[in-house]
Amino acid sequence: MARPIKEPPILYGEDARRFEARMQERRRISMEERTRINAAYEAVKSVCDFM
């Protein structure tokens, strides 16, 4: 049986501000990367539909 996952630590001060700022940033994905991700998704989806 797997061990239970512990609660994440609570962040305070500067660590909390950095974490919050990083969560607000939007990561831009290039069109080539988006095409590669969609192709991989379709490949996995087609295998799962087959089963």
Kindly report, residue by residue over 1-51, the tens digit of the pLDDT: 789 999 989 999 999 999 999 999 988 999 999 999 999 999 998 887 765
Non-local (6+) Cβ contacts of 11 within 8 A are: 19
Residue 2 has a pLDDT of: 86
What are the extents of the domains in the chain? 13-49
What value, to the nearest 5°, has the Cα angle with vertex 40 and ends 38 and 45? 90
pLDDT of residue 50: 62
What is the distance between the alpha carbons of residues 27 and 29, in angstroms, rounded to a whole number? 6
